[in-house]
Amino acid sequence: MKQIPNIFTLLNLCMGTIAIVLTLQTGESIINIQGSEWKIYLPENIWWASVFIGIAAVVDFFDGFVARLFKASSEMGKQLDSLADVVSFGVAPGIILFQLLRVSFAAEPTGLETPIGWMLPAIFFPMAAAWRLARFNLDTTHRNYFQGMPTPAAGLLVASFPILLLYNPLEIQPLLLNKWTLYTVCIALPWLMISNLSLINLKFNSFSFADNKARYVLLAGSAVYILFLGWLSIPAIFITYILVSLLFKNQIK
């Protein structure tokens, strides 16, 4: 029984590893429509990578639930969980960013000659994920909030990019495949992960509205986004999460 939560954790790592393998499969097509307008078709595998990162997130939730259910929490499980999260929500999303940067440069007239160094800022993401998870493991303070952006949240945001490129809501493809957008993501998300920014968690100690205003506002906003925005709700929820945390910062500590 004690090893059941660890099996879930290893399943999380397995899903992340599969996502990495799928992301590394090349085969994108870049077609010139007219003039400077290009249409980019990404290989199907990178969309499946997003799905496997999503499955990893579900498994990551259940390993903690199972550990509490069987009262099987352990120091090994804690370390193993962070190692799995680095792979699934750090390395896998980092490789997605690397591939998207590569595609964004490839669409330029001389893009195929771009040195690999221009894609290396994507590595900031897994580095920050590892830093944050290591800091989390060493932190013995019992807070009612997160210090810095949780790694799974940042990883799921990046994992949503291939899905958004697939369905292309509001013609978002040119924005997401703009190298400056991707560079901003490569800097902003790692900074959020290693920052000391206080962000709300969704653990309810009571259902009192007065004690949980920020959580209820976030949940209500998320429901509206999902209803009306579809896949765009993922980045919308992410941004709202930060804004609500800043707005209610005096109430979440």
Give pLDDT tens digits for 101-116: 988 887 777 766 778 8
CA distance 165 to 100: 10
**pLDDT tens digit sequence for 66-83:** 666 666 567 777 888 889
Which residues touch 42 (CB under 8 Å, ≥6 apart)?
28, 103, 162, 165, 166
CA distance 190 to 193: 5
Burial class (CB in 10 A: 0-12, 13-18, 19+), 131: middle
Q: What is the mean pLDDT of the chain?
A: 86
Pairwise pLDDT comparison (221 vs 8), residue with the higher score: 221
β-partners of residue 34 are 37
- Average the pLDDT over 56-62 and give the result: 89
Q: Which of 39-53, 102-116, 125-139, 206-220 has the highest mean pLDDT?
A: 125-139
**4-196 placed in CATH 3.10.290:** no
In the chain, pLDDT over 70 holds for what percent of residues?
85
Dmax over CA atoms of the chain, in Å, equals 63
Task: Decide if pLDDT at 157 tops 90.
Answer: yes
> What is the structure's pLDDT at 203?
77
Q: Residue ranges per domain, the chain? A: 4-196, 201-253
Alpha carbon 73 to chain centroid, angstroms: 25
CA distance 172 to 157: 15
